[in-house]
Amino acid sequence: MENKQDCMVNFSLHFSHTHSQSECDGVFNGILQERESKKSGYYDLPFKSCALQEARAYIKENEQFLDSLSYLVIIGIGGSSLGLKAIDGMLEHLPCRNALKLVFLEHTDPLHIVKALQGVALHNALFIVISKSGTTIETSSLLKYVLERYKVLESAESKRHLLAITDKDSPLEAWAKSVKVKYFEIMPNVGGRFSILSAVGLVPLAILGFDIEALLQGAAKMTQGFFERKEEHILYKALTYAKQREHIPMNVLFSYSSLFRQFNAWYVQLWGESLGKINVNGEKVGLTPIALIGSIDQHSFLQLIVQGVRDKSVTFLSLNPAHSLKPSIPDIRIPYLESTDFVNNQSFATLLHNQRLATMQTIENEGITTDCIEVMGLCEESVGILIAYFELLTSCVGNIFEIDTYNQPGVEFGKVRLKKLFES
């Protein structure tokens, strides 16, 4: 069990800001109004216990059944899968993680479907369909495939292998009721990409063995701190990004651990789908998210950042190296490769840490807008802090842009055209 110090997350802005108190107050009051008006319900999720209690009750009632399973199969796309994938990716190294293999059915690529379901049988799997409505074409099509292939609805026993997580009073909930499949509700005012701290994330994460209460506590800590005006760096960063959007329209999240790969993907959806909109003045606004993994992408994208067009800001996300002192680089001299011996006897974590520092210093030296997030130790609480931080930052930028941060009309246009293609 990690202690409180281990679960700390440090945030530091490496750029100067000249934002007035009135500007900060204006953004904060806008977010406060959003929360109080219930425009988005995600602000309240860290403080609600309903989904937590429902998840725990389900696990207690089905303990023997869950212990018999080998696969947890998630049927869902976008906000219904990315957050779960991100959190499991960051925490799957924890000893509390159950041995269940987590499988995602989110793609209509037939080759992926066949490969993903190798080894999956009805008796060894729990399928969870996650969708706000159930009418997302990828999700409904994959659900139909699972129902037919595994004959899930044939008996009361087979139905135990399927759960639904959906909006209250949604078409998917109506279907689940009609066929007597267990379902969990989320509130309709919680958008998909902001839903990870609802039953969407808490139920499968609890089944996987994670401490979902600590996850909520971390998110609550960040959210409460923000509304008590103890996390002003979020307002400063949001104002800086919004003011610079004309000449710095791209934001790079440079994460220095492979454990952050899926978190990067969650950030890309959250940032891109929330902020790419037409504002109240009819202007097209947005900030383009770019997700990189260090040190790998130092050998691909860094050159563009340093000497390419100055149209990017960079956030470094890293782990404190003190928690990963093994393995180390052996003290071996290889003839003709002596120039690399300066890292001998050092841990790989120290090497990665110094690679991040060197890269950050190089970028800062070019006058590029930079900030840093350092996670002292990856645990449920620190992950909850990260989730809440990026959600709050996104809402603040959206408020400054004068957009609806929580809809996605551009995505809906494509859905209408898809249906017409099949009707023609």
Nearest to 287 by CA among 384, 412, 403, 386: 403
Residue located via tokens 């959206």: 398
Element (H, E) at 57: helix 50-61
Nearest to 319 by CA among 289, 348, 353, 288: 353
Residue 211 · residue 378 · CB < 8 Å: no
User: What does the CA dihedral 275, 278, 282, 288 come to, rounded to 10 degrees?
Assistant: 50
Q: What is the sign, positive or negative, of the torsion defined by CA atoms of 201, 204, 210, 211?
A: positive
Strands 250-256 and 288-293, by their bridges, are: parallel
DSSP E strand stretches across 8-55:
9-13
- Coil, strand, or helix at residue 161? coil
Nearest to 318 by CA among 270, 237, 258, 404: 258
Nearest to 78 by CA among 266, 290, 360: 266
The catalytic position among 299, 326, 420, 423 is 299
Nearest to 132 by CA among 172, 85, 166: 166
- Coil, strand, or helix at residue 166? strand
> Distance between CA atoms of 122 and 178, rounded to whole angstroms?
21
> Distance between CA atoms of 387 and 12, rounded to whole angstroms?
17
CB count within 10 Å of CB 154 equals 11
The catalytic position among 93, 112, 230, 415 is 415
Active site residue 299: yes
The catalytic position among 273, 374, 380, 381 is 273
Structure-block tokens of residue 137: 């074409």
Alpha carbon of 55 to those of 75, 227, 350: distances in Å?
A: 18, 28, 39
Strands 284-285 and 162-167, by their bridges, are: unpaired
Residue 272 · residue 61 · CB < 8 Å: no
> Distance between CA atoms of 339 and 362, rounded to whole angstroms?
21
Q: Is 355 left (phi over 0), alpha (psi -120 to 50) or beta?
A: alpha
Positions annotated as catalytic residues are 273, 299, 415
